[in-house]
Amino acid sequence: MDLGDGLRKAMARLTGATIIDAKTIREFTKELQKALISADVELNLVFAFTKGIEDAALREKIPKGMNPKDYITNMVYEELVKLMGESYEPVLKPKRVLMVGMYGSGKTTTTAKLAKFYQDRGFSVGLICCDVTRPAAYEQLETLAKQANVSFFGIKGEKSVAKIAREGLAKLKDRKVIICDSSGRSALDAQLIDELKEINKAFDPDEKLLVVTADVGQIAGRQATEFSNAIGINGVIVTRLDGSGKGGGALSAVSAAKSRIAFIGTGEKLTSLELYDSKKFVGRLLGIPDLESLLETVQQGIKDANIKPEEMEVEELNFDMFYTQLKAMSKMGPMKNMLGMMGMSDVPKDALESSEAKLKKYGVIIGSMSKAERRNEKLVREPGRMARIAKGSGTTEKDVRELLSDFNKMKKVANMFKNNRDFRKQLSKYMPGM
């Protein structure tokens, strides 16, 4: 079971209870235990966490005027934040970063994501390939560097990591942030430790980041300890949090190992790397909306889609505008992440996949329309046009009619928003200029 699903079900049982007594609290903490254990959180951490919640809920005096359910919910939130570790705020200055990790952790892809992160904050970035053991590592990082539009250096076939690191530093000396991708192994053996120490000496990094996958659960803590003992690490990046039920175990284990979680990977796109904020992360687990992150994601999606701000401003929604929005949405990562930021984490997986497929289909259909049809949807209903659009997009007339129906529903919502001054006023707190 996904940790968020389990926690939200436990919280729903609490908030749905008629009275909050000792029996209700004990049943609630048992549900919390099930959720945490199923997410591979270490047993001692689980029992210490739930015992603290239960003892406080049964013994502490609830502040006057506060609802008992709200009091316990807030307590769970605060304790989960402690369990999942501190938030991370990187120093935004020129630096060298060494990436380390095991095979299959997503280290090379994460290296490119980190390059994109710093590039989006105004830094020129260069990548060095010091992975001299994995076949095609050179080609993969070179391709990812092109996708991220950052500089790349490597020496194909060279086995001396020290030589590659030194020559890479000389070649990329004008880059403000230089990130070095190292070799991985199936285990942290003596050969890998020696190789990492060699790179560490030649590259002289300001930061060393370990990449682990959420799939490994509690083992993430052991990896953090082993790498830290071997070469010293400054932070951990946990990947595949979007698809692993063991994410809670990985995060809590890293925190228990006294290592700091720096970033989390939430998807395959180069933009799917987030600074770790334990409060926001726990908030999403519990279904608390995160408007700030949502708006940042939207703005980054618009930027990555090369959409000018004025293209997002029209008096009335039309297919041109909708097409522009679809382009931006395609850059924002999985819909699951977007809905999580909106506090809507319990949408069924089938419904999510169906919605994503439908939006892709709609983009193809709109792409087959003429400029005049995009600006005036009424034209689409004229004889012959619907059949032509369906044929040109490889869809059916039924699909085109479904698009028209959904589009008109969206248009009504857009008009309601446009005329709702109170809602616009609230949103302007997060989006100045609304």
Q: What are the structural domains, with CATH classification, of the chain?
A: 3-83 (1.20.120.140), 95-284 (3.40.50.300), 291-427 (1.10.260.30)
In this predicted structure, what is the pLDDT of residue 414?
Answer: 64
Task: Give the residue from 228, 286, 278 showing the smallest Cα distance to 251.
Answer: 278
Predicted TM-score of the model (pTM): 0.70
Residue reference for tokens 């390059």: 115
Q: Are 247 and 6 spatial neighbours (Cβ–Cβ below 8 Å)?
A: no
Residue spans of beta strands (DSSP E) within 149-225: 151-153, 177-182, 207-213
What letter would DSSP give residue 186?
S
Strand partners, 127: 152, 179
Q: In this predicted structure, what is the pLDDT of residue 432?
A: 43
Which of 233, 222, 284 is closest to 262 using CA atoms?
Answer: 233
3-class DSSP string for the chain:
CCHHHHHHHHHHHHHCCCCCCHHHHHHHHHHHHHHHHHCCCCHHHHHHHHHHHHHHHHHCCCCCCCCHHHHHHHHHHHHHHHHCCCCCCCCCCCEEEEEEECCCCCHHHHHHHHHHHHHCCCCCEEEEEECCCCCCHHHHHHHHHHHHCCEEECCCCCCCHHHHHHHHHHHCCCCCEEEEEECCCCCCCHHHHHHHHHHHHHHCCCEEEEEEEHHHCCHHHHHHHHHHHHHCCCEEEEECCCCCCCHHHHHHHHHHCCCCEEEEECCCCCCCEEECCHHHHHHHHCCCCCHHHHHHHHHHHHHHCCCCHHHHCCCCCCHHHHHHHHHHHCCCCCHHHHHHHCCCCCCCHHHHHHHHHHHHHHHHHHHCCCHHHHHCHHHHHCCCHHHHHHHHHCCCHHHHHHHHHHHHHHHHHHHHHHHCHHHHHHHCCCCCCC
375-to-309, 342, 418 alpha-carbon distances in Å: 18, 30, 19
Which residue, chain included where needed, has tokens 């890293």?
Answer: 254
Q: What is the pLDDT of residue 8?
A: 86
pLDDT at 358: 81
User: What whole-number distance in Å separates Cα of residue 225 and Cα of residue 228?
Assistant: 5
Report pLDDT for 86: 87
Tokens of 198: 């060699």
Instruction: Write down the residue that tokens 């979680």 correspond to.
Output: 261
Nearest to 31 by CA among 55, 56, 49: 49
Please answer whether residues 339 and 356 qualify as being in contact, where contact means their C-beta atoms are separated by less than 8 angstroms.
no
pLDDT of res. 246: 82
What are φ and ψ of residue 290, in 5° steps?
Answer: -125, 80
Q: What is the mean pLDDT of each run of 10 residues along the chain (434 residues)?
A: 80 81 89 92 92 86 75 87 89 96 94 96 97 94 96 95 97 97 92 94 96 93 94 94 80 90 90 90 76 58 61 66 73 62 56 71 89 88 90 91 84 64 49 42
